[in-house]
Amino acid sequence: MPNIFVTTPDGEEHTIAAELGLSLMEAIVQKGLPMEAICGGCLSCATCHVHVDPEQFDLFEPKSEDEEDMLDLATNVVNESRLSCQLKIEERHEELRVTIAEE
């Protein structure tokens, strides 16, 4: 299980052990961190928006057109914005750093 560093909107950093194959959103929600994730990973909202560390952004597949469309509805979007429901956890994500975006 990769250890992932998640910073909440209030600036507090948490280390979570994320099960392989889960989405990052699922791992964050399972650990009780503050993320709404209203649609449950159906790619129909942007309430699981995160900022991926710029140096680690390329560890994931590029954004789909649908993900881009949902991010257009989000606030605080940056170049490294992703919907965490679209990011599957793999071994290579050990020590990944993300920040839950403020809504």
DSSP 2-34: -EEEEE-TTS-EEEEEPPTTSBHHHHHHHTT-S
Nearest to 6 by CA among 51, 59, 55, 71: 51
pTM: 0.95
What is the token pair recorded at 62?
Answer: 């590029």
Look at residue 69 and give its three-state secondary structure: helix
Q: For the chain, which domains are there?
A: 3-100 (3.10.20.30)
Q: pLDDT value at position 14?
A: 98
Q: pLDDT value at position 41?
A: 94
Q: pLDDT value at position 80?
A: 98
